[in-house]
């Protein structure tokens, strides 16, 4: 943490050309900040953000339009095809890296046994859309059901994030060879028939989830962070979308640097997050997946869909591990930004309030399990589905849209 980071003051004021009443200057966590760039030179703002205009004179709609236009302009189909070929095998080498939290997940499953979480009956009706979490669900009631049977097991080659323990169901693009029936490691004393009968939408969670370890510096940061004080509580959909936005970029950097981090980590994390680079976070988890996948196929050196899938899987496992592991990853993002020149404004806008939110919410573990189930539903979707409107919506008519499988042709990229 920078020595004088907590003493940094920002001069907040409303820009004269466009005020809050016009929809401007509503950025950061829950759109609750304004005037944060008023005291920064335009050159510094341009160094922090990809947004080509003064953030305090743009609306959310304008930032979204400008970002999509910039991405479509920057898209290089030839570079994408070259990366897909992976002629030097670099992507395959990166895919062999196993993140630390994933090892913790497998170790906990081996040591503690397995329980399965599946969407409850009411939730299944809305799992296929981004409205999984409603205002009525915020208390964590009636959201998850658990299989009663506890299975001691050895994880072997089966990726439990994919859901069914007996079937490695990869989302659309293969990363490794399909395990045969003989290769699947079935728990001792459990027949393959019984294992196959588990719900395909179930996710394995350790009976006793491990706790992430925090350094003394991280403990010091956590002691200073407080839950955000807002007049109105933020939408759970928006908070969860911002959470996975930041976790996606952190996971990508963790994979491509093989857990070591490097001087490029700041670029990786900021460039792949539309929240950090454009002040344009998604409003729901499905859009957060789309936004990340687009940027991951446009900007990094390795633009390979297998890496995107691995990111989704890595984040899914982190969500299954729970609150401490999610906060651990967010603290890593915060530390990278806090140690970078001028990026501490992003810590104030996003990281501090988001970490404070998850520290203060009572049902964090339940919500993160639910979020893992929703993410899994999106990344394993194989057919287009219509989303359903929020039951709490005050609109008489709410426009529906199709939720498409997350693959290359459904990302809105200008592919010829």
Task: Please give the full DSSP string across 244-270, using - where no structure is assigned.
Answer: HHHHHHHHHHHHHTTTS--TTHHHHHH
Contacts of 415 (CB under 8 A, 6+ apart): 77, 408, 409
370/46 Cα distance (integer angstroms)? 37
304/82 Cα distance (integer angstroms)? 9
DSSP state of 151: B
Question: Could you tell me which residues are beta bridge partners of residue 385?
Answer: 403
210/322 Cα distance (integer angstroms)? 9
Instruction: Report strand pairing: 203-206 vs 402-403.
Output: unpaired
Contacts of 233 (CB under 8 A, 6+ apart): none
pLDDT at position 280 is 98
Q: Tell me the C-alpha to C-alpha distance, in Å, between residue 144 and each of 4, 64, 132, 391, 392.
A: 44, 34, 11, 19, 20
Total residues belonging to the chain: 416
Contact of 129 with 388, CB cutoff 8 Å: yes
Question: Is 158 exposed, middle or buried, given 0-12, 13-18 or 19+ CB atoms closer than 10 A?
Answer: buried
104/111 Cα distance (integer angstroms)? 10
pLDDT, mean of each 10-residue run, the chain (416 residues):
46 44 73 89 94 93 97 96 92 93 89 73 44 40 43 36 36 33 33 37 81 97 93 92 99 97 96 98 97 98 93 94 97 97 95 97 93 91 82 54 91 93
Phi, psi of 396 (to 5 degrees): -70, -35
Helix segments in 168-264, DSSP class H: 192-196, 216-224, 236-256
Phi, psi of 277 (to 5 degrees): -95, -25
Closest Cα to residue 54, out of 31, 24, 29?
A: 24
Closest Cα to residue 221, out of 325, 329, 331?
A: 331
CA angle 386, 389, 390 (to 5 degrees): 140
Phi, psi of 141 (to 5 degrees): -100, 135
pLDDT at position 122 is 40
What's CA 407's distance to the chain center, in Å?
A: 17
DSSP state of 348: I
pLDDT at position 394 is 44
Contact of 2 with 338, CB cutoff 8 Å: yes
Contact of 235 with 392, CB cutoff 8 Å: no
**Tokens coding 258:** 């093989």
Instruction: Report strand pairing: 203-206 vs 114-119.
Output: antiparallel
pLDDT at position 204 is 81
Contacts of 165 (CB under 8 A, 6+ apart): 114, 151, 153, 158, 186, 187, 195, 198, 204
12/240 Cα distance (integer angstroms)? 27
């Amino acid at each position: 943490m920078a020595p004088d980071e907590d003493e940094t003051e920002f001069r907040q004021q409303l820009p004269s050309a466009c005020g809050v009443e016009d929809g401007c200057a509503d950025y950061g966590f829950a759109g609750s900040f304004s005037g944060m760039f008023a005291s920064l030179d335009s050159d510094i703002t341009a160094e922090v953000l990809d947004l080509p205009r003064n953030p305090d004179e743009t609306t959310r709609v304008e930032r979204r339009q400008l970002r999509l236009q910039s991405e479509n302009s920057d898209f290089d189909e030839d570079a994408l095809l070259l990366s897909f070929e992976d002629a030097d095998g670099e992507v395959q080498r990166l895919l062999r890296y196993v993140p630390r939290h994933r090892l913790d997940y497998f170790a906990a499953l081996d040591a503690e046994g397995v329980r399965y979480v599946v969407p409850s009956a009411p939730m299944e009706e809305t799992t296929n859309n981004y409205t999984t979490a409603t205002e009525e669900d915020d208390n964590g009631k009636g959201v998850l059901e658990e299989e009663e049977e506890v299975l001691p097991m050895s994880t072997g080659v089966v990726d439990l994030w994919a859901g069914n323990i007996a079937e490695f169901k990869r989302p659309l693009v293969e990363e490794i060879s399909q395990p045969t029936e003989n290769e699947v490691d079935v728990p001792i004393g459990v027949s393959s028939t019984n294992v196959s009968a588990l719900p395909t939408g179930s996710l394995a969670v350790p009976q006793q989830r491990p706790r992430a370890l925090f350094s003394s510096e991280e403990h010091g940061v956590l002691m200073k962070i407080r839950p955000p004080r807002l007049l109105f509580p933020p939408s759970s959909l928006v908070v969860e979308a911002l959470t996975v936005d930041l976790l996606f970029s952190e996971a990508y950097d963790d994979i491509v640097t093989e857990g070591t981090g490097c001087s490029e980590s700041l670029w990786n994390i900021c460039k792949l997050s539309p929240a950090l680079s454009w002040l344009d976070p998604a409003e729901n988890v499905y859009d957060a997946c789309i936004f990340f996948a687009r940027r991951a196929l446009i900007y990094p050196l390795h633009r390979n869909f297998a890496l995107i899938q691995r990111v989704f899987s890595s984040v899914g496992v982190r969500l299954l591990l729970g609150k401490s592991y999610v906060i651990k990853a967010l603290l890593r993002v915060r530390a990278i930004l806090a140690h970078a020149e001028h990026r501490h404004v992003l810590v104030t806008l996003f990281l501090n309030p988001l970490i404070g939110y998850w520290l203060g919410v009572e049902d964090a573990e339940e919500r993160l399990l639910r979020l893992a189930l929703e993410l899994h539903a999106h990344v394993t979707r194989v057919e287009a589905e219509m989303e359903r409107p929020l039951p709490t919506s005050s609109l008489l008519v709410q426009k529906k849209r199709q939720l498409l499988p997350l693959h290359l042709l459904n990302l809105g990229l200008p592919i010829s």
